[in-house]
Chains A and B, each alone.
Chain A
């Protein structure tokens, strides 16, 4: 004899409430934070460093680097003069809210305007795990192929801005932009898209201007 108890609770609810708490910590410190997701090799670390260049001192930037085991990316960020924290997930394929909660106290939040969080290189699940940032940004890159929205719909649904990196390779790699953007539009109608090249710097100014605007809008809505 057994009794059925109806629950209907999202499996991620415990993680999501810690994420909510993280967002509160960021908001109280007046810092805007972005979760950068992408497959391995899409150019996340280069993109962060190029963003620093393109901002040209307009925002004070901090970085949280997620990786399975190494601290290579955090070292690159620190070499560029950024306050950076490394999170080693020890094999986990994504960052979660607890990891961000542990990393935030290691950054000088009061002195920062913006934190870029580099998630683990993975197109399967990071979007399922809220970490408490204000925005999810996905970096797609031309050599990955134009079918990624169709293969990883969860990631393309779980973002609020899309970077298309390595557009300098378009003349050399078969990539049907129309087919790619069709998938994106269906999964995430009207999403803001920035075609960029970290190699040539093309498109980075538009992205940096957008970031400055976002940070400023978030500040005024907090007041």
Chain B
């Protein structure tokens, strides 16, 4: 149920950057480790963007899958949800290299 406040944050950022121009599309980059439900954001978006310059605009979600990099052998892999061990060399010395993204990357305006 946290999508309403997130959606409000997205709208504020979009309106601040749009100047007086009509907003057509908001491009979001969301990593796998950021908990957010697209459909829920879209639902709130249609409600809270009404009567603003963003009314009728489209949300575009670029989803970044979670990715880990092994510090021992350099192997890059996607965690399977049960273990973070490197599937190549079995090392547990790994770091998250992708999946924390949570930002408005750009907006398209008229």
Taking a contact as CB atoms under 8 Å apart, the answer to whether B13 and A92 are in contact is no
C-alpha spacing A124/B4, complex, angstroms: 15
Nearest first, the 9 closest Cβ-Cβ pairs linking A and B are A2-B108, A186-B84, A125-B35, A6-B106, A11-B9, A93-B1, A124-B35, A154-B33, A125-B2
Are B35 and A5 in touch, CB under 8 angstroms? no
A94 and B2 contact, CB distance less than 8 A: yes
Interface flags for B36-80 (1: CB within 8 Å of A; 0: not) read 000000000000000000000000000000100000000000010
Contacting residues, chain B, for A3 (C-beta < 8 A) = 21, 108-110
Chain A binding surface SS class: mixed
The residues of A that contact B10 with a CB separation of less than 8 Å are 11
What residues on A are CB-neighbors of B79 within 8 Å?
150, 153
Given A8-B105, A9-B104, A14-B12, 5 new contacts (CB under 8 A): A8-B104, A15-B5, A129-B2, A153-B96, A183-B84
Chain A contacts of B2 at CB under 8 A? 92-94, 125, 128-129
Which interface class (under 10, 10 to 19, 20 to 34, 35 or more) fits B? 35 or more
Which of A5, A128, A151 gathers most chain B CB within 10 Å? A5
Residue A7 at the chain B interface, CB threshold 8 Å? yes
Check if A186 sits within 8 Å of B106, measured CB to CB: no
Q: In whole angstroms, how far apart are the Cα atoms of A125 and B102 in the complex? A: 13
Nearest-Cβ distance from residue B52 to partner chain A, whole angstroms: 16
A sample of 17 inter-chain contacts (CB < 8 A) reads: A2-B24, A3-B108, A5-B17, A5-B108, A7-B13, A8-B105, A11-B102, A11-B104, A92-B4, A92-B5, A93-B2, A128-B2, A153-B33, A157-B100, A186-B93, A187-B84, A187-B96
Whether A150 and B102, one on each chain, are in contact in the complex, defined by CB atoms closer than 8 angstroms, is no
